[in-house]
Amino acid sequence: MLSASARGVPAGRFGAGVKDYRDYRTLYWTPAMDGPWSEVAAERYVAGAYEGVHYRIPQGVKHASLEFLLPLPDLRYLSVAGPVVDDSAVNAIDTLEHLTLLTRSKVPLAVDRLSRLHHLAIDARPDLSSLGGLPGLMRLYIAWWRGPDLSFLGDKPMLAWLRLDGKPARLSLAGIEGCTALQELEVLDYLVPALTPLRGLVALEQILLSGPRSIPPTTPLT
């Protein structure tokens, strides 16, 4: 489950007019009440003039793709939690501003066409290179990244908040240098060998590092 910190940060914190998940008129489609996504869900979305969908996939259900969401008009907020083989269809929803994909998909992340996106929360997969095409991103949460560093980020001149939740592993912060507006950084369950990539981030106000007990540090942080 996505933590409260990842789900939303008060909108006023990172600039006027920035919305968080509470600001969207959202259809909540849940296993206990509604079951798997259906035509009824799409009809309810249109009838209710919604602009967001929060969909928790029922246990035992695995979607091949998210193409069934493409006909929904004016979709600005989307949160999908549960197994999806290929979630790349979201890249065609160019109205999205706030996206959560906790799908355990192994296909390359496809979000580079979402020019309005300012908040993204994902569980990682081997290829996150499309994140480099989102210079307007302001908040980013990544779970289970197992790569060696953060070079996939690219230039993020507006990114103010970054959280990385890992399985016990080593992680270099190299690649974070392009996040020049970063104010808050949380790195949980990674062994970070050095803080030198942070030296040029003059806007940084808060750092939280929590390393894994299973991997003892070999040298002091520098």
Q: How far apart are CA 133 and CA 72, in angstroms?
A: 24
List the alpha helices (DSSP H) in 65-221. Answer: none
Q: Are 86 and 110 in contact (CB under 8 A)?
A: no
Return the minimum-mean-pLDDT range out of 15-29, 72-86, 191-205.
15-29
| In the predicted structure, residue 154 carries a pLDDT above the cut 70 | yes
Nearest Cα to Cα of residue 166 among 192, 180, 187 = 187
| pLDDT tens, position by position, 117-139 | 999 999 999 999 999 999 999 99
Q: What separation in angstroms does the CA of 198 have from each of 10, 103, 137, 139? A: 24, 31, 19, 17
Nearest Cα to Cα of residue 169 among 154, 150, 191 = 191
| pLDDT of 27 | 97
Report which residue type is found at 79.
Answer: S
The two tokens of residue 166 are 């890992």
Q: CA angle 171-185-193, nearest 5°?
A: 30
| pLDDT of 22 | 84
Q: Determine the 3-state secondary structure of 163 from DSSP.
A: strand
Q: Strand locations in 30-183, DSSP E?
A: 52-56, 63-65, 77-81, 84-86, 98-102, 119-123, 139-143, 161-170
| pLDDT of 15 | 47
Only one residue has tokens 């980020």, namely 153
Q: Find the distance separating the first CA and the last CA of the chain, reported in whole Å.
A: 33
| pLDDT tens, position by position, 4-48 | 333 333 344 544 455 777 899 999 999 988 999 999 999 999 999
Q: Are 182 and 195 in contact (CB under 8 A)?
A: no
| Residue 6 half-sphere exposure toward CB, CA atoms < 13 A | 22
Q: How far apart are CA 191 and CA 215, in angstroms?
A: 7
Confidence of residue 216 (pLDDT cuts 50, 70, 90): low
Q: Are 164 and 146 in contact (CB under 8 A)?
A: no
| In the predicted structure, residue 140 carries a pLDDT above the cut 60 | yes
Q: How far apart are CA 85 and CA 66, in angstroms?
A: 9
Q: Are 52 and 78 in contact (CB under 8 A)?
A: yes
Confidence of residue 222 (pLDDT cuts 50, 70, 90): low
| pLDDT of 142 | 97
Confidence of residue 111 (pLDDT cuts 50, 70, 90): very high
| pLDDT of 219 | 55
